[in-house]
Amino acid sequence: MQYVTAHPDGVLAIDAGYGREGLAAIHLVIHRGRAAIVDTGTPASVPRVFSALAAAGIAPENVDWVMLTHIHLDHAAGAGPLMAALPAARLLVHPRGVRHLADPQRLWSANAEVYGSERLVEMYGEPVPVPAERIVAAEEGLRVALGERSFRVLDTPGHTRHHIAIWDETAHACFVGDTFGVSYRELDRDGHAFVFPSTMPSEFDPGALHRSIERIASLRPEAIYLGHFSRVTGVDRIAADLHRLIDAQVAIACAARGHGVKRHVEILAGLEQLVCEEVERQGAPLSEEEVLELLRLDLDMNAQGLGMWMDKHPEAVSA
């Protein structure tokens, strides 16, 4: 299947088909005939997951875990319908996310305020609850097993407060959701991944994100698996880039003047300039115009998240 990529240690990356190909990844971990799924994409992604399971010879009843790095809908909207079709699976999610998976109406309502109800249903489907008895709160340090394979939960706030990373103790790798930014595969050069931090709304916290990145990097993982998009290596180099680019984005936001739309436009212009400078520094293969078109929506969301952080922390802006 063209939307499935096999990686070492029994990890398959399934393109969720969200937005565009190569944007959002679902990870399927296979170990001795059992499986775990990390993030779910949207309801439209579910047939791809079952096709990948069938191709790997894994029956639905042999999926033990569905693990969510966080409950943003591009990562978690498919959890309800997926769990309904996996009779033995348990759902692992940050404690802050448990109630939203058991009763997702509030989560959908909050997103409807952003997208509009019709657009929300078009993008993410209708909310499907997961029975509370099948949900496991992903407390810091919790270990779960897939046969003899062990995973450990890391509480990794910064992108959002309800974010975890999943440390694969067997593969010495980490499933990091959005904590380690977004890898734009179109900008890869000679195996060198171009990764840019996500500061999207509404709970971006630069200090917490720095600490979460440091924590993951300190484990010396052989690879990390991003929600956008999948496996990267060279973790120390990527971590250094992320720290530098988080600080650069925050500095752009703090230097912006005015409020509301005026401030947003100024922050966005600064982010566009930063990206163009970074593309030149890293020698990415697309033109400046192509890069800005590729990152247009993400940079707008980053600018929104920075603005919201500034409104919550005026003391940081005036410092």
Using DSSP's 3-state secondary structure scheme, residue 13 falls into: strand
Q: Mark whether 202 and 274 lie in a shared domain.
A: no
pLDDT digits (tens, 9 = 90+) for 200-240: 999 999 999 999 999 999 999 999 999 999 999 999 999 99
Q: Mark whether 8 and 89 lie in a shared domain.
A: yes
Q: Mark whether 131 and 267 lie in a shared domain.
A: no
Q: Mark whether 60 and 144 lie in a shared domain.
A: yes
Residues of the domain holding 310: 240-318
Lowest mean pLDDT among 109-118, 122-131, 272-281: 109-118
Token couple for 146: 């897939």
The residue among 238, 257, 275 that closes a domain is 238
**Residues paired with residue 165 on neighbouring β-strands, in sequence order:** 154
Under the banding of pLDDT at 50, 70 and 90, the label for residue 313 is confident
pLDDT at residue 87 tops 70: yes
Using DSSP's 3-state secondary structure scheme, residue 90 falls into: strand
pLDDT, position 105:
93
Q: Mark whether 160 and 292 lie in a shared domain.
A: no
Using DSSP's 3-state secondary structure scheme, residue 44 falls into: helix
Q: Mark whether 217 and 272 lie in a shared domain.
A: no
Q: Mark whether 220 and 255 lie in a shared domain.
A: no
Quote the CA–CA distance of 72 and 84 in Å, as a whole number.
19
pLDDT at residue 170 tops 70: yes
Q: Mark whether 139 and 97 lie in a shared domain.
A: yes
pLDDT at residue 1 tops 90: no
Q: Mark whether 246 and 207 lie in a shared domain.
A: no
Q: Mark whether 283 and 206 lie in a shared domain.
A: no
Which residues, in sequence order, are CB contacts of 255 under 8 Å at separation 6+? 270
pLDDT, position 314:
83
Average pLDDT, the chain: 96
Q: Mark whether 286 and 177 lie in a shared domain.
A: no
Q: Domain containing 50 — which CATH number?
A: 3.60.15.10
pLDDT, position 259:
87
The residue among 184, 207, 238 that closes a domain is 238
Q: How many domains does the chain have?
A: 2
pLDDT, position 318:
55
Q: Mark whether 113 and 255 lie in a shared domain.
A: no
pTM over the 0.95 mark: yes
pLDDT at residue 114 tops 90: no
The residue among 216, 238, 260 that closes a domain is 238
| φ, ψ dihedrals at 261, nearest 5° | -60, -40
Burial track 42-70 (b if 16+ CB lie within 10 A, e otherwise): bbbbbebbeebbeeeebebebbbbbbbbb
pLDDT digits (tens, 9 = 90+) for 182-205: 999 999 998 889 999 999 999 999
